[in-house]
Amino acid sequence: MSVEVEKLCKRHPDLIACKKDIESAIDTVKECYKNNNKVLTCGNGGSAADAEHIVGELMKGSRKKRKVSSVFSEKIKGFYPQECKQLCDNLQIPLPAISLTSHLSFTTAFNNDMNPEFTFTQQLFGLGKEGDVLIALSTSGNAKNVINACKLAKVLGIKTIALTGKDGGTLKDICDIVIRVPEEETFLVQEYHLPIYHAICSAIENEFFEK
């Protein structure tokens, strides 16, 4: 068990039953980044906020500084010698991630012209590629727009990780990894989702970055 998952289960003993799936999620995201791919996220309501939160943890330093390499620093210096230090001091190495919940102009246009249940699906079609990972959040596991995106992910060769409630809904039958927390009421499910994805993101950061 990774250190992050061990600590998570100590803080939240109810999640011990989920530890195998959480570890599998960590391994899947690690493999994704080792192959120079990216993570995409989606969800509705509070889960949309969680989808954004995950991207925030991955795209910048969370617990580590993620300083740019000396090689990249020298490259910047070759273009902008006077501004090199300022640029390097204000850049952190990202783990590429995109939230499908954040494209307002696209989503309003698509929802106006097409079936909104396929909005995430269209975004995934445009942005996803084989080897990427889709993290799909749905407290019930039955959100139709999330389900449709996960179905297309299979076609595109994109691994799917679902965070759901106890039942798992439809997502439990179509996703590669399903983390089913031991609650059913929406806000209680979401209270478990946050420490889980924090642990996942922390484990990923520790894999790729030193202090």
Domain ranges (residues) in the chain: 3-63+94-208
d(C-alpha 78, C-alpha 84), whole Å: 9
Q: Give me the CATH topology for the region 3-63+94-208.
A: Rossmann fold (3.40.50)
Mean of the pLDDT values across residues 98-126?
A: 97
Mean of the pLDDT values across residues 123-150?
A: 98
d(C-alpha 154, C-alpha 130), whole Å: 9
d(C-alpha 43, C-alpha 136), whole Å: 6
Q: Average pLDDT of the chain?
A: 97
pLDDT confidence tier of residue 210, bands split at 50, 70 and 90: confident
pLDDT confidence tier of residue 7, bands split at 50, 70 and 90: very high
